[in-house]
Amino acid sequence: MSTITPTPTESPSPGTGLRPTLEELRENTRLLITLRWVAGLSILLGTLAARLFLDIGLQTLPLLIIGLSVLGYNTLLWSFIRAGETSHLQRVQQIAWGQIILDWLAMIVLVHFTGGITSPALIYFVIHAALSGTILLPWQTRSLVGLAVVIVGGLAWFERNGGLPHVRIAELGLDNDLYQNTTYIAAIVFFFGTTILTLSDLVTRNAQRLRQREKHIRELYDARATFVRVATHELRAPLGASLSLMRNIEQGYAGELSPQQRTILTRVTSRLEGLRTLIDDLLTLATSREASTAHAPLEPDSVRAVLERIIEREKPHADHKAIRLDCDLSREPGIVMAGDVGLGIIFGNLLNNAIKYTPEGGHVAVQYRIAPAAHAAEITVQDSGMGIPADDLPHIFNEFFRAKNAKNSQVMGTGIGLSTVRTLVERYQGQITLESDEGQGTTVRVSLPLAPDQTPPKDRDGDI
């Protein structure tokens, strides 16, 4: 007997992260370029203003060189972007890396020439770390931030120990009580203000973009759901009419048939039935996708009530194949947080599969229990059917997958059912396991957590 529990649906791990798209990279690179124009010009004009009007003892030449360098490489980057060098993702990623390294070099030199560890410009690293986060992967940003700490710490260390000359800006009066120094206050307020302004703008911009994207995805999603619903309804009508007519011929209401005509008719009917199964499954898939999306609200629902309804619906199919259908249902309502449609799809699919893949005269058993320890409703559907080959078991929850023996059999199927069941069970925070032995039968166990306000019964787990 082999058992399979589906692995949870993958979500990107926060460690590796998702790469930015080309469009996003381009847009953020453009933003960086714009900010860099402002930064380069501010360095130039600020230095000149400090020198000419405020008479602050800055080292003018190095600062002007930094400002001009920033404007210089920004011009290069700008021309790259303009020249359409950005159609290739790898190229844009290189540009992204390159510009950030250049910026950090420029900033560390700027910090050095504006007072080292006492420089009011130090806070600009915050802006830049945030900007890097928008175009680099999480680990890259973290590495760069680590590097910044090492560089700034190293710079301060070298200046302290005389490895590098410390640039003292006497006008800042860093030896005095800083809170009384107007120039220092103005400088801090300026750098602090521009930092938080830029940061908040950046975060808002990204939040807006995410919201916009989510809205767009939801619209696409709704459009698709509507399309599938309409399409399947429109497809089903002519198919229903055709099959109705075919059954008239089969049952002799349109005169006698030759054996050859009967064979052809049986084949055509069988193909049409296959098409009908496909359309019905697609419709179920579309409905379950709606039921399993995060924005579909979860409501308390009784496992027992839905199971009874589904058993009533499926029983005629079991009777038709002389399959013994044993139901052992706890009297407890078993309130779980799910959706009526979703629960119906889960139980309907499991029971329908069990009956479909069990030969005539076989046996299907449905059991429903409350597991007080796990605070869960447990539903087991067991059949004496064809089972699933061990090789196929790992794929059985995949969309559109059908086991070899199922494909070779006469049973109509699309491989949508179990993947739908799995999606819904996961959405309801439940678990599903499947045990199977080829030729012996299959047992599917679904466990759904009871709604929080449900007190699990201790002794009342009676049978009917």
Binding site for other proteins (CB under 8 A): 236-245, 247-248, 251, 253-254, 276, 280, 283-284, 287, 306, 309-310, 312-313, 340-341, 344-345, 348
Sign of the C-alpha dihedral computed for residues 90, 91, 96 and 97 taken in this order:
positive
Rg of the Cα atoms in the chain: 35
CA torsion, points 354, 358, 363, 368, in degrees to nearest 10?
Answer: -10
Give 312 or 459: the residue with its C-beta nearer to other proteins: 312
Cα-flanking dihedrals φ and ψ of residue 324, to 5°?
A: -80, 120
Min dist CB 241 to other proteins, Å, is 4
CA torsion through residues 171, 172, 178, 179, sign = positive
Residues 303 and 368: beta-carbon distance below 8 Å: yes
Tokens read off for 216: 């767009």
| Residue 233: CB minimum distance to other proteins, A | 8
Instruction: Name which of 333 and 389 has its Cβ closer to other proteins.
Output: 333
Query: How far apart are CB 415 and other proteins at their closest, in Å?
Result: 18
The smaller minimum CB distance to other proteins, of residues 119 and 287, is found at 287
Shortest approach of other proteins to residue 371 CB, angstroms? 24
Q: Which is nearer to other proteins, 149 or 237 (by Cβ)?
A: 237
Which C-beta is closer to other proteins: that of 244 or that of 455? 244
Question: Is the C-alpha dihedral spanning 218, 220, 226, 229 positive or negative?
Answer: negative
Q: How far is the CB of 244 from other proteins (least distance, A)?
A: 4
Region for residue 8 given its phi and psi (left: phi exceeds 0; alpha: psi -120 to 50; beta: otherwise): beta
Backbone φ and ψ for 126, nearest 5 degrees, come out as -60, -50
CA distance 410 to 157: 79
**Contacts of range 229-234, beta carbons closer than 8 Å, 24 or more positions apart:** 229/283, 229/286, 232/279, 232/280, 232/282, 232/283, 232/286, 233/283
- Closest approach, Cβ 444 to other proteins, in A, equals 18
Contacts of 217 (CB under 8 A, 6+ apart): none
In the bound complex, what is the minimum distance in angstroms from residue 201's beta carbon to other proteins?
A: 49
Q: To 5 degrees, how large is the angle CA 399–CA 17–CA 102?
A: 150
Q: For the chain, give the longest Cα–Cα distance.
A: 112
Which residues are 376's β-sheet partners? 371, 449
H-state helical runs in 136-181: 138-160
Residue 163 or 240 having the CB closest to other proteins: 240
CA nearest to 352, candidates 298, 303, 315, 379? 315
The DSSP letter of residue 51 is: I
When the beta carbons of 195 and 284 are compared against other proteins, the nearer one is: 284
- Min CB(337)–other proteins separation in Å: 18
Q: How far is the CB of 278 from other proteins (least distance, A)?
A: 12
Smallest separation, CB 421 to other proteins (Å): 13
Of the pair 70, 421, the CB lying nearest other proteins is at 421
Q: How far is the CB of 274 from other proteins (least distance, A)?
A: 13
Residues 6 or more apart whose Cβ sits within 8 Å of residue 182: none
| Burial of 98 from C-beta contacts in 10 A (0-12 / 13-18 / 19+) | middle
Nearer to other proteins, 145 or 275 (CB): 275
Closest contact distance (angstroms) between CB of 412 and other proteins is 13
| HEC-encoded secondary structure of 52-78 | HHHCCCCCHHHHHHHHHHHHHHHHHHH
> Which residue number, 7 or 244, has a Cβ lying nearer to other proteins?
244
Question: Which residue type sits at 76?
Answer: L
Phi, psi of 59 (to 5 degrees): -80, 90
Nearer of residues 85 and 340 to other proteins, judged by Cβ: 340
Closer CB to other proteins, residue 2 or residue 242? 242
